[in-house]
Every structure is written in C-alpha cells, then in structure tokens.
Amino acid sequence: MTAFIIYKALMCIGVFVLCLAAAAYSTLWERKFAAFLQDRKGPSRAGWGGILQPLADGVKMFMKEEIIPNVSNRSLFILGPCLFMVTAVITSSVIPWAKPVMINGQVYDLQITDINIGVIYLLGVASIGVYGIMIGGWASNNKFALLGAVRASSQMISYEIPMGIALIALIISSGGSLSLKEIVEGQDAGFANFIWQPLGFLIFFICALAETNRAPFDLPECETELVGGYHTEYSSMKLGLYLFAEYINMFISSAIIATMYFGGYNFPFAAELYDKLGLADGSVWISLIGFGVLIAKIFGFVCLFMWIRWTLPRFRYDQLMNLGWKTLLPLSLFNLALTIVIEYFRGNIHF
Amino acid sequence: MQLTNRKVVVSKKEQSFAEKLYLPAIAKGMMITASHLFKKSPTINYPEQKRPIAPVFRGQHVLKRDENGAERCTSCGMCAVACPAEAITMTSGERKKGEEHLYREEKYAATYEIDMLRCIFCGLCEEACPKEAIFLTDRLVDTEFERRDFIYGKDKLVEKIDQRIDVTKRQTPEVLAFKKIPGLKHNELFDKKLDKGNKH
C-alpha cells in the first residue's frame, strides 16, 4: 500500500513537473519559433542561446508589483487564475505517457490514473477551465476584462460541442472504450486513429485551437480590441499563472491529440524494433522510447499550434460563431453519421 | 488616360467551393511562413558584431592638436557659422606667454561646446575649418541620461596628447586641395572675415 502511494505520488509530481517544464519551455520556443518564421533570432541573451529565458521571465513576473483593484471582488479575483491553472494541470492525469514498466515483478502504469471514463473526464475538466477565465474576468470589475471573459466562455462553450461529437465518432471507430489507455493500445501496429477519422481529427484540432484560446481563435485576449482581454487587471504572478496555464493547455491539448488520433506512445513497426533490440515486454527501455515518441509527437503539435498562430490573422467574432455553429457542428454530425455507417459495414456496430 | 498598368478591376464573383473551404488558402499561407524558417536571419548581434561603417563615417567630432601637441583651433568661428544646426558655441581667449606649447596661435578657444543633440553630423564644420582643427571621426556619440550631458566641452572634444585620433581617411590630399581652391563659398567667407578683422 505504501509502495502504491509513493508510486502514485511520484507519478503526480513527475507529470506536474513535466507540464510546468514543458509550458515554461513552450514560452521560449514560441518566441524562438516566431522569430524563425519572421527571419529574426528571438531571445538569445539569457544563458546559452536564450536557454534560461523562461527562468528570467519567471523571476520578472514574481518581482512585479502585485495590484488587486479596489473595486474587484477580492476572493474571486484570486480564485480565477488558481482555478485556471489547476484545471490546466489536472487534465494531464489521464494521459498515458508510456507503456507500463515492470520492476521487480510489479507492473507500474505510466499514467496517473486510468479511469474508464477518461474522455468524459477530459471534456469535463476542459469545460471547468472556462470558469477560471469567467471568474477572473468578472471579478476584475472592468469592461474589457468582462468582454474578454464573455467572449472566452461563449467561444469555449460553442467549440466544446463539435469537439465532443468528433470524440464520439472517434470512440465509435476505435472500439467503444472511453479509457485513454485502451484507445492508445487500440492504435498499436501503426494504425493511428486519424487514418479512420481524418475529418474528425480536423474538427478536433480546430476545436482544440479554440479551446486553448490560441490564434486564430485568440479573441478573448485580443490586444487590439480589449487591452488584454480577461486578464487586463491582472499583474505579477497572477497574470503569469494565466499566461502559463495557457501554455500548459497547449501542451496538454497536443498530448491529447497525439494520444487520441496519432497513437500516443505507439509508432509504426514498434514491435519489430523492440524485437530487434531484444527488449522484453515491461522493459524500461520500451517505456523510454515510447515516452520519447509521445514527446516528439506533442512537440510536433505544439509547433503546429505556433505555426498557425504566426500565420493566420484573428477571426472576427461573428466569423468565429459562424464557424463554430454553422460549419463545425454540422460537419461533426456528418462525420458522426458517416462513421456509424462505415463502422456498421466494417462490422463493429451491432444494432 | 492610363498612367500605369497596375490597375486591377475588382470583381465580386461567387467563391468556388475550394475557396469557401479556406483550407487550401490556409495551407498556402502556412507554406509561405514555413519557407521563412529556412531563410537566413539578417540580424546583427550588436555589441558582439558591428555593422561595417564607411571609412569616411561622420561620427563624434575631434579637435585636433598639431604635431607639437598644441591645439590647432583659433576660435575663428567659421565652424559655428557653417553649422546649419547651430550646435557649436565657443568663446575665445588670448594666449599668454609660456602657453605656446598649448595653443598654436595667439588666439584660442577658451571654451568650445558642441551640442550633440543638435548636431546633424553633416560635416560642414570640418569643411569650413581653415586650420584643419575639427574633424568628424568614426566614433559614435555615447548615450546619456541627461540632456545637458550631450553638450560636449573641450574635455571631450580635444584629443588627448597620448591618444591621437587618426583622421587621415577624412583628411585626404584631395580634401586639402579642395579647401585651397579660391572662389569657393566657404573660402570666400573666410577671406571676407579676414578682411573685416583687418579693418578693425
């Protein structure tokens, strides 16, 4: 029992640290990547090639003056960023990071918890994430912050629907399990889900962009219209938490896309490779290689997120709503119907 | 009348299905940004790398000393007259006995100030100087926090005896010859001023 608690605690701490480190270095990579796309060099002063820039940014954020507006709702004002951060981090608990490891005859899952409603848990936590923004924007008692918060919540609620429907189609075609671990295991031997769900993947990806408030869906914080959006009144580390949580969200969204549609820690001809290397099931090396593959996939998607951000202009609000309700929703329903028909003829669905 | 062939007639035709999808257009745009990933950045990492400057770059001024270490400036005021930005001010002093090693001629500049914020680094002072005393150099004017610190006095302008500043690139034989041509505007002015001085 003690061993189990220690193992789970280590998993939690490990994943937490991974999320924070990934988010910290996403901020640096975002700036670097943007610089490369714009023929610049990006931050290069702090440490070798700018490697200590996230640290410098963090120190700067902590040193800034903390301002809580007099007219704000103090407790909610503090709760907002905390909630946003917490929801961003706890999403990572159902992601399987690598194949289980066998140590001293004991099998350890490299996943914090493998709940059988993992997908629903993801959607649930993602929708709680809206509250962080909504509460923060509302408690600021500022027009711009409120507008940003309203935009954010309506956007996130709108895009959750096509996202959920795309996931239903995915679950139907991947065998009906809601456990992320089983979804990943089902994508073994190179048959990643996006081959069966290309449209679903596209819809899910667009919705993931909207859910993480990334460009071209960054209306909640568009500087040109809303000063800073929902975090206009925030300063110091509370602002830091908001900005940081967005990068965690991006990292986790990429992880979810990689897990759901691109096979997670699986990769084509994995079994043959392990055979050649003479690795038995449960070997630490298999887990490490799988983890590396997953991280590489996540990095690819993070780059795609950034690439899109530095290419496309922002949507207008009505375009955003039109895309969500008039295009993505019917498209996802069509995708669902198509999936049901295809799976019926493949013999995976029985009425 | 058609002046250029850049005229484009705007058409509001119905979008085709591919255009309505926007995805091809997005892919095209993303390819454009991706192509920039492989382009060389034109950035110059300033303090370590410096942009090459022309040999006749016009930077911070220097007041030259002659070969014996005496100041060449005689405070004639030609540079101040020539200066389009009115950045130069000076007061004259008379050389005392025993100061021959300090000042080359009997009159010298007791104070000599250039306001580096007014100066436009055009080089007209250098062109006007009949004594080859003022030159612009390839040094950059330092940044300061106060406006008054930009007014450079003789302490900053006159070259140190042991740290001579090389102006041979600006003081070429052609330049010297040019300055000797009679009838040019600046030479004329100088002649007139000399005449005036003689009359008094």
- What per-residue confidence (pLDDT) applies to A193? 79
Pairing between strand B107-115 and B151-152?
antiparallel
Q: Do B42 and A39 touch (CB under 8 A)?
A: yes
Cα–Cα distance between B119 and B88 in angstroms, integer?
8
For chain B, say whether A307 makes contact (Cβ under 8 Å).
Answer: yes
Taking CB atoms and an 8 Å limit, are A39 and B26 in contact across chains?
no
- Per-residue pLDDT tens over the stretch B31-54: 998 888 888 888 888 888 888 888
In a domain, B126, yes or no: yes
Residue B10 scores a pLDDT above 80 = yes
Cα torsion A8, A9, A15, A16: sign: positive
Q: Please name the member of B34, B36, B45 whose beta carbon is closest to the beta carbon of A38.
A: B36
Q: For each of chain A's 351 residues, which pLDDT tens digit applies?
A: 888 888 888 888 988 898 888 888 888 999 889 888 888 888 888 888 888 888 888 898 888 888 888 888 888 888 888 888 898 888 888 888 888 887 777 777 788 888 888 888 888 888 888 888 888 888 888 888 888 888 888 888 888 889 989 988 888 887 778 888 888 887 776 577 787 888 888 899 999 888 888 878 887 777 777 777 788 888 888 888 888 888 898 999 899 888 888 887 887 777 777 778 777 776 778 888 888 888 999 999 999 999 998 888 888 888 888 888 888 899 999 999 998 888 888 777 776
Residues of chain A contacting residue B17, judged by C-beta atoms under 8 Å apart: none
User: Do residues B41 and B78 make contact, with C-beta atoms less than 8 angstroms apart?
Assistant: no
Cα–Cα distance measured from residue B148 to residue B140, given in angstroms and rounded to the nearest whole number:
18
Exposed, middle or buried: residue A261 (CB in 10 Å: 0-12, 13-18, 19+)? buried
Q: What range does the domain containing B103 cover? A: 61-199
Between strands B134-136 and B61-63, the pairing is: antiparallel
Whether the CB-CB separation of A92 and A21 falls below 8 Å is answered with no
Give me the mean pLDDT over the B152-177 stretch: 84
Please give the residue of chain A at the shortest CA–CA distance from B38: A36
Mean pLDDT of the B132-159 span:
90
Q: What is the DSSP string of A304-338?
A: HHHHHHTTSPPPPHHHHHIIIIIIIHHHHHHHHHH
- B67/A184 Cα distance (integer angstroms): 85
In three-state secondary structure terms, B123 is coil
pTM value is 0.78
Residue B127 domain flag: yes
The domain total for chain B is 1
Chain B contacts of A38, Cβ < 8 Å?
Answer: 36
For residue B177, pLDDT over 80 is answered with no
Look up residue B158 and give its DSSP letter.
B
What's the pLDDT at B114? 92
What does the domain layout of chain A look like in residue ranges?
2-346
B42/A44 Cβ within 8 A: no
Cβ neighbours around A330 below 10 Å, total: 11
Does A37 lie at the interface with B, CB-CB under 8 angstroms?
yes
* A322 CB within 8 Å of a chain B CB: no
A167 within 8 A of A260, measured Cβ to Cβ = yes
Q: Output the six-digit token pair for A156.
A: 């996130």
CATH number at residue B164: 3.30.70.3270
Residues of chain A neighbouring B26 (CB-CB closer than 8 A)? 311-312
pLDDT over threshold 70, residue B200: no
- Structural domain contains residue B109: yes
Is residue A216 within 8 A of residue A312, CB to CB? The reply is yes
Pick B30's closest partner by Cβ from A38, A39, A311.
A311
Return phi, psi of residue B163, to 5°. -125, 70
- Look up tokens 């106060």; give the residue: B146
With 0-12 / 13-18 / 19 or more C-beta atoms within 10 angstroms meaning exposed / middle / buried, residue B192 is exposed
